[in-house]
Amino acid sequence: MRASLNRREMLQRSAAFAALALIPESLTALGAPETPPEAELIPFLDVQAPGRGLRWDELTSWITPNAKVFNVGHYGVPKPEPPDAWRLEISGLVKHPVTLSLADLKARKSKRIIATLECSGNGSSPGFVGAVGNVEWTGVPLAALLKDCGLRERAIEIVFFGADEKLEKIREKDYLQNFARSLSVGDAQREDVLLAYAMNGEPLSQEHGAPVRLIVPGWFGIAWVKWLKRIEVTDRRFMGKFMARDYVTIRGEERDGQTIWRETSVGPIDVKSICARAVRVKAGVVRFTGAAWSDGTAVERVELQIDNGPWKAARLERKKQARYGWVFWTYDWESAPPGEHTVVSRATDAAGRVQPAAADPAIALKRTYWEANQQFPRKIKL
């Protein structure tokens, strides 16, 4: 996995963001309790690594500004082409193949969806925790396009190809490959899967997949193919690099004294939360705020644990919410004593799935960094 970042830009943005983070901002508009103007932002001792993406100590906006949304590239950013020259081919096992221009796409009925975009490796290391953001996407539902094209009876898979490409060695020979991912026919026909051309009301930037990218709400960002050029309908499983060889999770399970190993392709988001900010609202009271998200299954509760004590229920701020968007939460720690403390959150969704600790048997034998949803302990000093 390689982020498309410029080091100088990373450091400049990090310094600017750090300065802004010193000013406490109110989350009242989101339903949280009022934060007094004299409140003091308490920095976490575990410092987030510099880089382009979300700075958790600045988390005050439910929608993540475009400039703070991370981007990851695998085959580099392709050379921009004039929007009027872009074409999208839909072919394969369809009765009516079609090639669409950007104008053709925008002439169709559009839809807006708020969905959290997250890199599947987000949280895999202490510094790499900002590769996530909550965004409003505008585009055309894929299901309607597939319906117009008419899927043939044998169709089982939809493959999405980007314009980014690279030579890959396969069976000791070099083959030019486009970045590609696939969805089953059932997943691709969900009404919320979009061919998007705007984020937060602005045209997609080149780094975010201009002019059109795939949006798969509830799935990790690896499935959200950028610089979309071709959609192919097939009658067999697609086994490209980023479906079958890379972004494959290796996980062990203990059964009858033996370890059974499984490999699964990275897909839906796991239930997850993070403690983002700590603010001293008055003497002896520290307010923790953070975010929680899942694959579209509602986040039912978030709990906070301080210094390995009992889990305490946080308050979910539901004033702004969307099925595939994150939810904010707050917790007031009364009579907080001086000293160094560890705080960690865990989320539980409506299906009963609990965000695991790193030592939980469900993930203790996971050998890949993708699908990183373990609890993320943070330290503060009062």
At residue 9, the pLDDT reads 41
- How far is it, in rounded angstroms, from Cα 377 to Cα 368? 20
At residue 138, the pLDDT reads 98
Higher pLDDT, 284 or 52: 284
Q: 7-63+267-381 has which CATH code?
A: 2.60.40.650
* pLDDT at residue 6 is higher than 90: no
pLDDT band at 7 (very low <50, low <70, confident <90, very high): very low
Question: Which residues, 6+ apart, have CB-to-CB distance to 144 below 8 Å?
Answer: 108, 109
Higher pLDDT, 16 or 291: 291
Q: Cβ(87)–Cβ(104) under 8 Å?
A: no
At residue 127, the pLDDT reads 78
pLDDT band at 379 (very low <50, low <70, confident <90, very high): very high
Percent of the chain with pLDDT over 70: 90
Percent of the chain with pLDDT over 90: 80
- How far is it, in rounded angstroms, from Cα 105 to Cα 315? 42
What class has domain 68-248?
alpha beta
- How far is it, in rounded angstroms, from Cα 46 to Cα 126? 8
3-class secondary structure for the chain? CEECCCHHHHHHHHHHHHHHCCCCCCCHHHCCCCCCCCCEECCCCCCCCCCCCCCHHHCCCCCCCHHHCCCEECCCCCCCCCHHHCEEEEEECECCCEEEEHHHHHHCCCEEEEEEEECCCCCCCCCCCCCEEEEEEEEEEHHHHHHHHCECCCCCEEEEEEEEEEEEEECCEEEEEEEEEEEEHHHHCCCCCEEEEEECCEECCHHHCCCCEEECCCECHHHCCCCEEEEEEECCCCCCHHHHHCCEEEEEEEECCEEEEEEEECCECCCEEEEEEEEEEECCEEEEEEEEECCCCCEEEEEEEECCCCCEECEEECCCCCCECCEEEEEEECCCCCCEEEEEEEEEECCCCECCCCCCHHHHCECCCCCCCCCCCEEEEC
Across residues 277-296, what is the average pLDDT? 95
Across residues 206-219, what is the average pLDDT? 97
Higher pLDDT, 137 or 7: 137
Determine the length of the chain: 382
Q: Dump pLDDT digits (tens) for 72-101.
A: 989 999 999 898 999 999 999 999 999 999
Q: Dump pLDDT digits (tens) for 344-354.
A: 999 999 999 99
- How far is it, in rounded angstroms, from Cα 105 to Cα 94? 18
Q: Domain map of the chain by residue range?
A: 7-63+267-381, 68-248
pLDDT band at 32 (very low <50, low <70, confident <90, very high): low
Mean pLDDT, the chain, whole residue set: 90
Of the ranges 72-76, 101-105, 195-199, which one carries the lowest mean pLDDT score?
72-76
